[in-house]
Every structure is written in structure tokens, then in C-alpha cells.
């Protein structure tokens, strides 16, 4: 799997914007403000550029559709899996082979009621690990757990329809392999840049 950090402050090339699907064009048009619209367009255009460069499929030939769980697929991209996430003015694009992938990106920010969210969405082991963290580290612990769960849910192609407490992803950021519904998932955390928290997951 390879993951790229994308600058979403740059206006995307018009040739790439013109190639976006009707679904993407409609979604972009629904943004009332120009900044989130630009971020959305830049992220989806960056995906096309990277697929063109690394998977050797011209942007003009790429045809994307979105599943009910919100996962993007490119028709005809045999043997490749992709994932896209963005937060603020930065995005992540992931491309991988040998198993579906998921990536998730969040800004490192204070989370209101992190302890309550942990009780609702984390496994028993994660709740115990969270309780043992120093208070100053609990916000970061929650963000690590959340991004890991999101990445796993994306790799499984189920989105947030999965009961997240059933995904025992860990909160320490270490690489681990977990099992869910007879599937094995590798998951890990990383910081792509200052002020950002991210995670990747891949089905084995």
C-alpha cells in the first residue's frame, strides 16, 4: 500500500474537474461555500492523477462509482484498491494491491466528551487501555482509536454500519492484526504532518 499527502489549497486542473462523475459534480455543487467545494474537487482530482500515474489508467478513462457505504471504486482498475480521506486543507489518497484498503485522517483537536465516545464506540480492551492513559494523553488516544476504526470499516466496505465497538483496533497506535467476521485486518497509525492523526487498514 502507498499513501500520499495531498495539498487541498491548490486549485485542481480543469481537465480533471471535467472528468469527475455526475455524482461527484452534484456533490461539489451542493457546497454553499467555495473553500469546502475546492477541497472536495482537489481531493477527487488528486485521486485521478495518482491513479493515472501509478496504475497507468488515463484520467479520461477512469469511471468511479460510490457504494452505499460511501466507498469509491474505479471500474476497470483490476487488482487495485483505493481509499480517500481529507480533513481541512489536506487529504490522503491510498492505493494498494493484495487486499482492500481503508485510510482515515483527522485533525489533532480537542474532542468534547472523548470518554463518553470511548464508552460508546470502543471495545472492552480499548476502554480499559483508555482508562489507564494519563489524562493529558486521552484525547490523542481517542483520535488514534477512532481513525483506526474508520480505516478498518472502509477496508471492509461497510462504513459506519459496523458496530465500531466490535473492532478491537487498539488505541496505542501500534501495528496489529485483528479479526472481524472471519476477515483478518492489518491496521496501523501514523502522523502524516504536524497537527494530523491518520490510520491505514488492509484486508489480508
Residue 79 has pLDDT above 90, yes or no: no
- Binning pLDDT at 50, 70 and 90, where does residue 158 land? confident
Q: Which domains does the chain have, with CATH numbers?
A: 2-98 (3.90.470.20), 104-203 (3.90.470.20)
Rg (CA), the chain: 17
Average model confidence (pLDDT) across the chain: 92
Question: In the Cβ-directed half-sphere of 117, how many Cα atoms lie within 13 Å?
Answer: 14
- CA 186 to chain CA centroid, Å, is 14
Contact 21, 65 (CB under 8 A): yes
Amino acid 66: pLDDT: 78
End-to-end CA distance of the chain: 12
Question: In the Cβ-directed half-sphere of 147, how many Cα atoms lie within 13 Å?
Answer: 30
Q: How many CB atoms lie within 10 A of CB 138?
A: 18
Residue pLDDT, tens place only, 89-140: 999 999 999 899 999 999 999 999 999 999 999 999 999 999 999 999 999 9
Amino acid 53: pLDDT: 93
Contact 50, 3 (CB under 8 A): no
* β pairing state of 183-190 and 176-180: antiparallel
Entry pTM: 0.91
Residue 160 has pLDDT above 80, yes or no: no
Amino acid 123: pLDDT: 96
Contact 91, 182 (CB under 8 A): no
- Binning pLDDT at 50, 70 and 90, where does residue 78 land? confident
Residue 175 has pLDDT above 80, yes or no: yes
Q: Minimal CA–CA distance to 149: which of 181, 171, 119?
A: 171
Amino acid 117: pLDDT: 96
Residue pLDDT, tens place only, 4-42: 999 999 999 898 899 898 888 999 999 999 999 999 999
Amino acid 64: pLDDT: 85
Contact 197, 150 (CB under 8 A): no
Long-range contacts of the stretch 70-75 (C-beta < 8 A, 24+): 70/159, 71/154, 71/157, 71/159, 72/47
Amino acid at each position: 500500500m502507498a499513501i500520499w499527502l495531498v495539498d487541498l489549497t491548490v486549485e485542481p486542473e480543469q481537465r480533471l474537474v471535467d472528468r469527475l462523475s455526475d455524482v461527484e459534480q452534484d456533490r461539489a455543487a451542493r457546497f454553499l461555500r467555495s473553500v469546502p467545494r475546492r477541497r472536495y474537487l482537489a481531493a477527487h482530482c488528486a485521486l485521478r492523477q495518482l491513479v493515472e500515474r501509478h496504475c497507468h489508467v488515463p484520467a479520461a478513462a477512469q469511471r468511479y462509482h460510490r457504494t452505499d457505504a460511501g466507498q469509491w471504486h474505479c471500474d476497470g482498475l483490476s487488482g487495485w484498491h483505493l481509499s480517500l480521506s481529507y480533513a481541512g486543507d489536506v487529504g490522503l489518497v491510498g492505493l494498494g494491491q493484495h487486499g482492500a484498503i481503508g485510510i482515515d485522517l483527522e485533525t489533532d483537536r480537542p474532542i468534547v466528551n472523548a470518554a463518553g465516545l470511548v464508552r460508546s464506540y470502543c471495545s472492552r480492551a480499548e476502554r480499559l487501555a483508555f482508562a489507564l492513559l494519563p489524562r493529558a494523553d486521552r484525547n490523542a488516544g481517542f483520535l488514534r482509536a477512532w481513525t483506526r476504526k474508520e480505516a478498518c470499516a472502509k477496508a471492509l466496505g461497510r462504513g459506519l454500519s459496523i458496530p465500531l465497538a466490535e473492532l478491537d483496533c487498539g488505541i496505542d497506535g501500534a501495528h496489529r492484526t485483528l479479526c472481524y467476521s472471519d476477515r483478518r485486518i492489518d491496521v496501523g497509525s501514523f502522523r502524516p504532518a504536524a497537527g494530523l492523526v491518520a490510520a491505514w487498514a488492509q484486508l489480508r
